Amino acid sequence: MTFEAIDAWWWPYLFIIVAGWLATDAWRFLGVVLGGRISETSEALVFVRAVATALVAAVIASLVLTPNGGLAEAPAWLRVGAVAAGFGVYLVTRQHMLAGIFVAEAVLLIGMALT
């Protein structure tokens, strides 16, 4: 079965839904089954958390340093400054994530409006 196998308007949507479900839910199910058996302090789980954190950091760095779309119009110093301001507020507010996100967005939007 391929993406172009059936010539109907609904086929691409069904194909994407089924393929997306199969690709992600099998791993989610495996994670639930195995996750209950792994100790939170085990080296395997510490490694998995480290890899997940590194992947998130890489995605954020990619969005900030090599953006596309509307974010590419903002200068690099403004994008980096907004991230730094948001992270600073996150630390000052005792790791309140929403406060950091709102400040970073506000700095970015105000900076874009002024430049």
How many domains would you assign to the chain? 2
Q: Mean pLDDT in the chain?
A: 90
Specify the pLDDT at position 88.
97
**Host domain of residue 24:** 1-37
Q: Are residues 47 and 33 in the same domain?
A: no
Q: Are residues 107 and 51 in the same domain?
A: yes
| pLDDT, tens only, 92-107 | 999 999 999 999 999 9
Q: Are residues 51 and 26 in the same domain?
A: no
Angle at 72 between CA 102 and CA 95, to 5 degrees: 25
| pLDDT, tens only, 59-103 | 999 999 999 988 999 999 999 999 999 999 999 999 999 999 999
Q: Are residues 10 and 30 in the same domain?
A: yes
Q: Do residues 110 and 96 touch, judged by C-beta distance below 8 A?
A: no
pTM equals 0.65
Residues of the chain by 3-state class (helix, strand, coil), percent to 5: 75, 0, 25
| pLDDT, tens only, 34-53 | 777 778 888 988 898 899 99
